[in-house]
Structure 1
Amino acid sequence: MTDAPAALWNALETLEFPTLGALFAVPGRLDRYCTTLDLPGGPIRFDWSKTHLFPAAEAILARLAEAQGLAEKRRQLIEGEAINNTEGRAAEHTAQRGVGAPASVVEAEALHERMQGLVEAIHEGLFGEVRSLIHIGIGGSALGPALAIDALTRDGARVAVHVVSNIDGCALEAAFRGCDPATTMIAVASKTFTTTETMTNAASALDWLREGGVDDPYGRVVALTASPEKAVEWGVDDTRVLPFSESVGGRYSLWSSIGFPIALAIGFEGFAEFLAGAAAIDHHFIEAPIDSNVVVRAAFADLLYTQAFKCQTRAVFAYDERLALFPDYLQQLEMESNGKRVTADGQPLTRPSAPVTWGGVGTDAQHAVFQLLHQGTHMIPVDFLAIKIPGHDLDPLHHQILLSNCFAQGAALMAGKASDDGARAYPGNRPSATFLAEDLNPATLGALIAFHEHRTFVSAALLGINPFDQFGVELGKAIAKQIDAGDGEGFDPSTEALLAAAGLRG
């Protein structure tokens, strides 16, 4: 008989947790909680030994996984069933990298071939000289491409890509200043091809091309969308429309045609390596037993801290400048996916959902926020991301100092330091996990992103929520449209006063 989830959550919450120091006194801890996977881009070490996971807690979480049907939900995800029940569709991002329902995989491969043809045509000069691409999107249509391009093109790109998401015209003007209209193409990324911010920015980009002497601005536009007919109606020729499936959600879409700017910047062969790295994590997640599954282990630790320790945030620090945008990417992935207050069947969620994800770049963050991590009153689990091979040719001392600081922070958070002077005392027993990759390349980045997608999914499965809808972003957008249309009336006095002060009320 399967245990009731409520009783298991209670068992986890009432469990007595040893300190990290006591846990390390048990032989074999490092072997159990530190795993290295040999992946297409090189090995990645996943070290969860400095967390409060231990066999008794894992046993409860494993029973929770069984009670909440994790194995069945994983099967539904991979086989393309309608796991996104509130919107009545599948979530088939894994099919984009070759792991999923056979028909969906074939469709994804065909759409990738279409994208490859356009990328190679641009590289071969069939569109004239193209030095720059302005990629216009928002949310998942921008954060993923921005992360990948920033991470993988520090040594140069085949085409320079400027990602613009903000409706604030300053963002678009900054991209214009770095480009020449005569050698620039525009990518418009929108699943529905109706997103207000994206389409407004796209119209301004067309004006910029026109004012810059481009006779046929629409001829310089590539559309990335699940609504190809709307892109054609807007003015993009069908040959430059790159569709993707409706079953690919925005924050999971960089593997699809939304990845066009990545492929244009690094070459399609690099994009294929990106997909391969992600697929390797897919296979590990599907095939590895729970007790050695690095994805499940990470989600177990996340739930342990939100549910038993009542931690409200989780921090992520990239000790590599090339991964500076990784915390930003994870904010949307985790908070939009799991920031829910009802279960998948519409019942109130009676326990904490996703923590607030935040972070930054080491070593900068050490001199800004680590004071609170070490001596503040909050317990905040920390993830550290590091790369063994540096991304520069400067004195190796730079990278030595960078990595030594990364590893020192995790050690200090755990060990702490006693002092009779309270201002100089460190409580310790503060958890962290560390990713150490051999190298940063397209396959490694793909693996790291896919790992976090599945980590987020496992947390959702155990909480019983749907991680693939995002209705919480709609209300504010709807009210903004009312205001723009002049229909918004009867707001609270503060909002009415702000509208009047900004000149949006007569």
Structure 2
Amino acid sequence: MKYVNLMQTRSWNILKNHFDIMKNVHLRDLFLLDSNRFKKFSIYFENEILVDFSKNRITENTLKYLLDLAQEMNVKQAIQSMFSGEKINETENRSVLHIALRNRQNSPIFVDNYNIMFEVNHVLKKMKDFSESVITGKWKGYTGKSISDIINIGIGGSDLGPYMVTEALRPYKNHLNIHYVSNIDGTHLAEVLKKINPETTIFLIASKTFTTEETITNANSSKIWFLRYSKDKSSLDKHFFALSANIQNALDFGINIKNIFQFWDWVGGRFSLWSSAGLSIILSIGFKNFEKFLNGAHSMDNHFYNSEYKKNIPIILALISIWYANFFGSETEAIFPYDQYMHRFSAYFQQSNMESNGKSVDKKGQKISYQTGPIIWGEPGTNGQHAFFQLIHQGTKLIPSDFIVPIISHNHLKNHHIKLICNFLAQTKALAFGTAEKSFAKESTFFKKNIKNFNQIDKNFLFKECIGNQPTNSILIRKITPYNLGALIALYEHKIFVQGHLLNIFSFDQWGVELGKILAKNIYKNFSNIENDQVLDSSTQGLISFYKSFHK
């Protein structure tokens, strides 16, 4: 595929000139000038999801120029390259095919002339059979008792993804207790082990390479803890399972070959929840619901692959993100799910986006002079409204935000949900339009009590004024179901892919993460009295010495 620097395209230069017109335009004026903005700037997905991007600092011309950029950057060709199994992860010489894991049409997808769907379906069948045996109680622990608890040991995508989904789909949860351990801090594992019975617990060791330091350390400690009770290594076969692409390392750890659920090097860790790394999801909600989850993602895949640019939700959201980062100078994007079950959604896409597009070198190995991946953050609404929304309303930062809310709640407590919806709508309205002096005064109890003449408002108003013009996307979902959640996750995955392509970077490696792992292993040698030729800086050496002074 031809690599293109987006700043050298004709469309980019047009956008630069267009930005000079748009940079001081207020959303209030855009809505006053066009009463049909909502209709023009919103897209429905299967009558299940509505994406309203009308509260963005764009016009029809802006969107046209952005879509021209997508055309000039050959986004469609990039999509086809990924879906066809081309090795677009060039730095690791790998395909990027998480879409194959939810390929519900079962159409052939080839990697090195081999149809990978045979293996995908084989592992899916294995997960189905195993999960059903555990959920129904047929799978017994070493003392003959049925399983009550699952501990998923992983980190990064092997933790954040499955944890986020099992929490988001709690209304579909069965009787099994699902626990997640990720942090190498022993407290994380110790607190979980306090809650469980070794006779009725199984451990899922989720690691693509089966070498990840945090995961293997927690797995080894779990094995030692377990064997203190069972006294028999053969009992591991009833309780320990590997979710990995590295079969040999899992075997070396002591996992029975029958207990290894494979995934492949063409599955990126942060996109692996659709694979065997999502076994904890299946054990939580059952295989039928997991199939619906895959179906929803597959439907979004079809939308992404087949829709024209101007109706393609991931492409449009990616373009808008590029618009803010590289013209308005925004550095962060926020995701606010107005659904308590989705409390880990922002954290999951914080990893997915920042690990993918946090790069400063383009595909030709040249330093980049434009903004790449944004900082992603967020918390559930309405909690965030009473924490950091103040900065968005009246601070000095431009923070484009996504607001996500289900129309139908899983929990019908009197008027709770309608009040949640009202807060959702109020925040996007306030962020867009802010306050004008007179209208604000008329609505304000404070001013009604303290100011007799509404036309003579003193300087105190300045402390209460909200400028507005903060852009938002509103995403309304009929209900958080396995199908709709699958579609929503796939939407964001594809947005990240398009962003990476437009930015001309390799989105599917993470060499910065690898550096920290290497250095940690070398520094560990200093604590273990192992010969090490690494020369440490004075700060690191001083910190080590101070630490050791407490452990003499």
Distance 2:135 2:258 in 1: 16
Cα 1:192–1:349, aligned 2, differ >3 Å: closer, same or farther?
Answer: same
Aligned to 1:312: 331
| Contact 1:375/1:427 (8 A) holds in 2 | yes
Q: What is the CA-CA distance between 1:331 and the residue it aligns to? A: 0.4
Q: What is the CA-CA distance between 1:408 and the residue it aligns to? A: 0.4
Aligned to 1:503: 548
Q: What is the CA-CA distance between 1:307 and the residue it aligns to? A: 0.8
Cα 1:133–1:354, aligned 2, differ >3 Å: closer, same or farther?
Answer: same
Aligned to 1:148: 165
User: Are 1:463 and 2:503 counterparts?
Assistant: yes
Aligned to 2:34: 26
Aligned to 2:449: none
User: Are 1:403 and 2:421 counterparts?
Assistant: yes
Secondary structure at 2:334's aligned position in 1? strand
Secondary structure at 1:405's aligned position in 2? helix
Aligned to 1:223: 242
1:91-240 equivalent positions in 2, closer than 5 A: 91-98=96-103, 101=109, 103-128=115-140, 129-154=146-171, 156-213=173-230, 215=232, 216-219=234-237, 220-240=239-259
Cα 1:3–1:302, aligned 2, differ >3 Å: closer, same or farther?
Answer: closer
Q: What is the CA-CA distance between 1:127 and the residue it aligns to? A: 2.5
Q: Give the letter for the 2:98 counterpart.
A: H
Deviation track 1:108-130 (CA, whole Å, cap 9, x = no partner) reads 12211121121122223332100
2:91 aligned to which of 75, 86, 91? 86
Q: Give the letter for the 1:200 counterpart.
A: T
User: Are 1:451 and 2:451 counterparts?
Assistant: no
Q: Give the letter for the 1:107 counterpart.
A: E
Distance 1:273 1:154 in 2: 14
Aligned to 1:35: 43
Distance 1:484 1:356 in 2: 30
Q: What is the CA-CA distance between 1:205 and the residue it aligns to? A: 0.8
Aligned to 2:535: 490
User: Are 1:375 and 2:394 counterparts?
Assistant: yes
Distance 1:89 1:329 in 2: 23
Q: What is the CA-CA distance between 1:211 and the residue it aligns to? A: 2.4
Q: What is the CA-CA distance between 1:350 and the residue it aligns to? A: 1.5
User: Are 1:275 and 2:280 counterparts?
Assistant: no
Secondary structure at 1:464's aligned position in 2? coil
Deviation track 1:198-245 (CA, whole Å, cap 9, x = no partner) reads 011001111221223463452211100001122112111111100012
| Contact 2:6/2:503 (8 A) holds in 1 | no
Secondary structure at 1:347's aligned position in 2? coil
Structure 2 spans left out of the alignment, 5+ residues: 141-145, 438-458, 527-531
Distance 1:488 1:433 in 2: 52
Q: What is the CA-CA distance between 1:21 and the residue it aligns to? A: 1.9
Q: Give the letter for the 2:15 counterpart.
A: L
| Contact 1:118/1:240 (8 A) holds in 2 | no
Secondary structure at 1:353's aligned position in 2? coil
Aligned to 2:378: 359
Distance 2:17 2:518 in 1: 43
Distance 1:234 1:461 in 2: 39
Deviation track 1:239-288 (CA, whole Å, cap 9, x = no partner) reads 11000121000001000110100001111111111100100100000111
Cα 1:450–1:488, aligned 2, differ >3 Å: closer, same or farther?
Answer: farther
| Contact 1:413/1:429 (8 A) holds in 2 | yes
Distance 2:306 2:484 in 1: 20
Distance 2:366 2:155 in 1: 31
Distance 1:67 1:253 in 2: 31
Distance 1:33 1:212 in 2: 61
| Contact 1:223/1:231 (8 A) holds in 2 | yes
Deviation track 1:302-357 (CA, whole Å, cap 9, x = no partner) reads 11110111100011111110000000001011000001001122121120001100
Secondary structure at 2:426's aligned position in 1? helix
Distance 1:69 1:350 in 2: 21
Q: What is the CA-CA distance between 1:376 and the residue it aligns to? A: 0.1
Structure 1 spans left out of the alignment, 5+ residues: none
1:322 aligned to which of 341, 353, 375? 341
Secondary structure at 2:495's aligned position in 1? helix
Cα 1:152–1:379, aligned 2, differ >3 Å: closer, same or farther?
Answer: same
Q: TM-score, normalised by structure 1?
A: 0.95
Q: Give the letter for the 1:404 counterpart.
A: C
Instruction: Choose 1 or 2 for highest CA Rg.
Output: 2
Q: Give the letter for the 2:207 counterpart.
A: S
Distance 1:148 1:285 in 2: 22
Q: What is the CA-CA distance between 1:75 and the residue it aligns to? A: 0.5
Q: Give the letter for the 2:306 counterpart.
A: E
What is the aligned length? 501
Secondary structure at 1:434's aligned position in 2? strand
Deviation track 1:96-115 (CA, whole Å, cap 9, x = no partner) reads 00177262233212211121
Secondary structure at 1:485's aligned position in 2? helix
Q: Give the letter for the 1:193 counterpart.
A: F
1:7-18 equivalent positions in 2, closer than 5 A: 7-15=10-18, 16-17=21-22, 18=25
Q: TM-score, normalised by structure 2?
A: 0.87
Q: Give the letter for the 2:431 counterpart.
A: L
Deviation track 1:420-450 (CA, whole Å, cap 9, x = no partner) reads 5211111111111111111111111111110
Aligned to 2:456: none
Secondary structure at 1:135's aligned position in 2? strand
Cα 1:492–1:68, aligned 2, differ >3 Å: closer, same or farther?
Answer: same
Distance 2:427 2:229 in 1: 51
Distance 2:429 2:117 in 1: 44
Aligned to 2:467: 427
Q: Give the letter for the 2:137 counterpart.
A: G
Identity %: 36
Distance 1:155 1:121 in 2: 18
Distance 1:165 1:79 in 2: 34
| Contact 2:297/2:483 (8 A) holds in 1 | yes
Aligned to 1:475: 515
Alpha carbon RMSD of aligned pairs, Å?
A: 1.8
1:34-73 equivalent positions in 2, closer than 5 A: 34-38=42-46, 43-73=48-78
Q: What is the CA-CA distance between 1:489 and the residue it aligns to? A: 4.4
Distance 1:69 1:107 in 2: 31
Distance 1:493 1:217 in 2: 48
Distance 2:98 2:477 in 1: 24
User: Are 1:256 and 2:275 counterparts?
Assistant: yes
| Contact 2:6/2:502 (8 A) holds in 1 | no
Distance 1:373 1:190 in 2: 38
* Bigger mean CA offset, 178-187 vs 153-162: 153-162
Distance 1:466 1:67 in 2: 19
| Contact 1:48/1:433 (8 A) holds in 2 | yes
Q: Give the letter for the 2:183 counterpart.
A: N
